[in-house]
Structures are given as C-alpha cells and as structure tokens.
Structure 1
C-alpha cells in the first residue's frame, strides 16, 4: 500500500475508478483515479460494498481523529468487501473471482507488538482510508492479500462490509468478557452499539439495557433485539442521576447491578454515566471514539469501587470468527443497512450520514458494475 507507483503503467480497466476523497481543507470530492497492477503480495479488488463509518465523517468535518491527521487529499472508507480481479506475484491463496472481505489495517509486522500478536497496536499500520493510505470507497483497490478473507457463498457483500464494525465489537467483548445471565448495559444505539447489543444477546448476557438520547434509535434497538430494555437518557439529570435510573432497571441491591458496561459512544458524559452504573468491581469497556482529552471522569469513584475502565484500539484476529458468526446464523445484521447508494453518488451518502435528522443506521456505497481488467 505504501510502495511508490514508480514507473508502473496504469491498467486498462472496463470502467473508470470514481474515488471519494476528503481534502485537507475539509471538503469532499469524487475523482477518477488511475488503477495500477498489484505489487507482489497484493491483490486488486473490485470493491462491491463499502460502509460509511463515523470516523469517515470525523475526518471530513475535522480533519483528524487524535493523532491521525489528514494532511492531504485521500480516498476514505475502510468497511468493505469485493471480488478479486488480479493477484500480484507470490499470492497463492486467492484467485480472480474470489469473494473477499477487506481487513483494512496492514501492520508493519516487524515490531515487538506484531511479534506478540497484538498487531492492532502497531504504530506503523497502513490503515485504509486514513491519510495517506487509499480507502475503499472506490471501484478498484489494491490491498495486501494477507489481509483479505474469503467470504462463504451465504454471506452477501453487504454483510461483508459489516464485518469491520462487527470486528470492533468482537474485540471489545473478547477484551472484557461477558457472563451468561449477568447484566450488561450498552451505551449508544448507533451502528456499533446495535451490533454490541446483538452480540451481547448472542453471548447469553441478561438482562441487557441499551441507552441513547434519541427515541427513534431506541425504538430501532427494541425491534432489532426485542428482549432488550431501552432507556432514554434524561438530559436534565447528571451522570449519577442517569446511572441511578439505569441501575433501577436491574432491580435493587448491589449484586444485581450490571457487571459490564459496553460504552459505544465515546461521549464523555456517557463514559461518566457508565462508570457510575457498573457495580463495584465491575468493568466498563469504552468501544466508542471520543475526544482527545476528557477532564471530568469520576476518578475517585472509579478507584474506590475498583471499576475496571478499559479501552480498545480496533481489533485483531476477528475476521474468521466474525465471518463464522454471520455464515452460521449466530448474528443477523442485515437490518442495520438503512440506506444504499451507488458508487457514483457516494458524496450524497456522506451528507446523509452527517445529518442525524435523516435517521440513518448503516449506509452502504455499492457498485453494481461488472468491472474487469
């Protein structure tokens, strides 16, 4: 992904390559970009479906997430699936025509973290859709073959694009652990929160409370996982007040208070509420992406109650089990796809996602063309 195009000659392709780019001055543009043959170890993929993530909106609107900064124009997108068109030298486990899901991060693989199997923490990861690495909202994309995963016939391209957010949730759940019959709270009914809700249900957690400030999202959550309990966050209450109301949904007494909180918003007030909601000795896992600095976390409460406040960075070793979850019917995430746009209208998809009044859940950009090289 980082190798220079050098003297490589662009391929002749059957269709142009419209690529949705975010510029350094926070604009969107669609550019027809050249398509190059894959380097050794790479595969040229025809992207059939690419999901829009909140991080894509963040990069567009603010130009950065933490230390990740857009310093120039870059094609965005990292939730994708497609069809192998051409394999570079040395690729022997994939062939043209294979249906694949894209694991967007390609780590350096020569650092101590990669050696330890914690490649999601590699500081030299080349992550699709994060400047300067080309993302997936385009027709043709070269990607390292190692980080492509074959899709079974019963997993659609749309579901393949949902494997990335599912992987985020799976890494969070694996990090924190869930117990059969123990209570869980899911903070936030956005795409990540809804997937966490379904995964928690499949994991045997009970009861499950899902929280949000938007009644429409809570209504969707109730339809998506009927056994959950919906709690609309009361904006007139502080974190402790909302936590007290959430705890009451589990019954009285410290023992029945929720053991685990899956915080899927990254919003400071929600993280604080989560800390007050967990029972003493419980765990809060922050899955959502928040602002760089949080100044108001209830430090002494967390300390005195020995709340285990944990965080994750993306995922590792999740694609095969995530594919198994969808292929085996453990999870059905198809309802999450609320809007579908053709690739040529990808800018419209970003604008719809950016306005919460549109009520989108998961928006996909798809390409129905029969592309070839």
Structure 2
C-alpha cells in the first residue's frame, strides 16, 4: 500500500511538472491608457531593426522558473504602430517621423528574495525627405522594477521605456535641416553572431550585447575562480581592487570563451565557462536546484546535483538545462541525431557530443 502511494505521488508530480512546461509562449499586449502630451510629432512608420527578431525577450514561468520566449500579441511592427497611434495621435500640424527600433528586450532575474524585471529599448527616429531617410538621433531607456512576480508587468515597463524616449526626443526637437543630418541605415536583416570573427572581450549586461558582439569594454573588472573540480569551474566578477561584485550581468567574454551567469538557470550567482561555441553555446554545471529539493526531498536533491549540460540559444537568448525532454525537443528536426542519441548511454559525454554535432549540422 505504501509503495502504491509513492508511485501515485511520483505520477502526480511528473504530470504536474509536464503541465508547468507545456505552455511555451508568453504574449505581451501593450494597452496605453492615454495619449502623451507631445505636440510636435507623431510616428507614421515603425521599422524593426533589432539584431534578433525571434521575440522580445525571455521570461520565467512556473515553480521551476523555466525560461520561455516572450513576444507581442500581434506582429511586432503592427503592435508598436498601434501603440504609437494611441500615445501620439496623428495630426496635420505635427511632423511625421519614422521609429527605427534597434532594441526592445525584456528579461527577468530571480534572487532569493525578489524578482527583477527589466526592459531595454533603443529607438532611432528618422525623417524622410524626397524618399531618403535621415537620422534625427538615437534614444534609449532602461526600466527595472522589483517584485515577487514581475512577469505580468512587462507591458508597463515597455510603455514606461517608450514614454521616456518619446519625451526626450520631443524636448530635443525633430524639426531639423536634412543637410545637417546623417543618412539612416535601416537594414532589416535578421542578424546572428559570427563566431569566426572572434569574440570581443568585455561584459554582457544583456543578451543583445552578446548577439551583436558588443560587450561593455569601457569598465575595468577582475574575475576570480571561486570553485573548481575536475568537471567544473565557478567564477565571480569584481570591480578592480575591490571585493564588490559587478551585478546584473548576463555574462562576459575573455575574448575566446563566453562565461554565463548561473542566475539564468538557478538562484545562485556565479559564472560558468563555455565548452564550445555555435548556434547553441554549450556549458556544463553541477548545482543544487532548490525547487527540486523542496518538491522531491533527498532523491530530488541527489538528482539536481548531477552534472548538467546547458545551452544558450544564440537566436533567442533562451538558456536551457538539457533534460531528456529538452534534448528530444532540441533534436526533433534532426531525426538522425535523435536516433543516435537514443542509442547511446545518454551520459554527459553523449549530450556534449550530440550538441556539437547539432551545431555542425546547423552550420552546413
């Protein structure tokens, strides 16, 4: 009877865990409540010039903080155009300008006491004269808010970022002589990082810094090895000649490798070094997942401290711990690789090998 209860408990736990993981999309809808007090321009066109157009960021869902891609509830350019039409109603006495969106990215970070929701926006405003678009300037805003659950407030942070940018542009003015303005570059291509060109050394405050290979290289920092075994190394990042840590980093690069912040998949803050680069940047780590331990006790704790394969998708910015289900999903478009993996022992060496082969296949 007792064993039957245990089996039933495990069955319910597995079903619940699968339920947590099934809904893989998070949609954000912007709903401005009122127009802005801006009288000198309106936005007649939105151009998506983001480095990656796969989504608007990454959020965390469920008790295990699973990373999920976020997107608008309708096409990116259409949704922003509808939003701008409410914030800045078109009028004949206003200047018509174009919004070239270089960045719009939301993210979440979990600590032991709170969650941090972040929105980063960068917009270049353009003026069209005789079919040629001229740049009126580039403006950026970052909005961060703490809370117990920040997922449902991303719309507010996006609107606050847009409002800050619009107000700043309005103060500086948009009525300028085209002869004094540079011609804009509005290349719409979906960019991806080219590792063959080499990594630049510096700090990544967000995924876009990595994707555009433009880390912050103006801030001095030191790295410190805080834990080392035959299988892993953990690092911290400090200000020079100080014990004070540089916080809220996505990662950093030493010019050859990528170091990922462990807060992308656990509550601990340290950095792990990439094993190899590619479409899926591959890492390995051994960590204590407090959610698993709390849910499943000692058995869960033992399972959570084994060596895990971890990948960073350089197209979406999503970090995934490679469980059996996640590996199958990753390989579902590559049946030969999936069959090869299933025939093997499915140990960490097999996971490492199959991700390397997946990257090689995707580069062909």
Q: TM-score, normalising length from structure 2? A: 0.28
Rg larger in structure: 2
Q: What is the TM-score of this pair, normalised by structure 1?
A: 0.28
Asked which structure has the greater RCO (Cα within 8 Å, sep 6+), the reply is 1
Q: Which has the larger share of strand?
A: 2
